[in-house]
Amino acid sequence: MLEMSILEYMMVPNIFVYLALIGIVLGLVAIGLFIWLKKQQQIDNDLHEAELSHTHQGMNAMMDDFNNYQVETDRKIAELEKQLKINNTSTNKAIEQIHKGLPGKIRGVIGHIEFARPTDKK
């Protein structure tokens, strides 16, 4: 009675069979989880790549704007320097003309003073 035949032995569930089935199921779950995580990682990588691309575009736009600002500012500074130089030369010419005519005006005023009659005779 204690002895079982091979057929009876095969019909009785063996613990190793259950463990093998559990191992197969766990392996399949692990493979499925790995594939799912890999897809999620790829989605995250694509989102980060798109965000990085937009950041690069924004930085390039800012760099272009800053370069244009620098060029425009340099152009304005050069124009202002040119206007200042023109104004200085015209002012200098006006001052030189005043200096040239000043001795004659001084002589004219002094001449009138010298030959003027005193108004209060005492």
Instruction: Give Cβ neighbours of residue 4 (< 8 Å, ≥ 6 apart).
Output: 12
Tokens matching residue 5: 């035949």
Considering Cα of 103, then 105, then 108, then 113, what sign does the dihedral take?
negative
What is the C-alpha to C-alpha distance for residues 93 and 112, in angstroms, rounded to an integer?
A: 29
The reported pTM is 0.48
- Give CA torsion, residues 111, 109, 100, 81, to 10 deg: 170
What's the mean pLDDT in 111-115? 66
Instruction: Give Cβ neighbours of residue 12 (< 8 Å, ≥ 6 apart).
Output: 4
What is the C-alpha to C-alpha distance for residues 49 and 79, in angstroms, rounded to an integer?
A: 45
> How many other CB atoms are found less than 10 A from the CB of residue 21?
10
For 50-105, how does the pLDDT look when each residue is reduced to its tens digit (9 = 90+)?
A: 999 999 999 999 999 999 999 999 999 999 999 999 999 999 988 888 888 888 88
- For the chain, domain boundaries: 15-114
Q: What is the pLDDT of residue 10?
A: 63
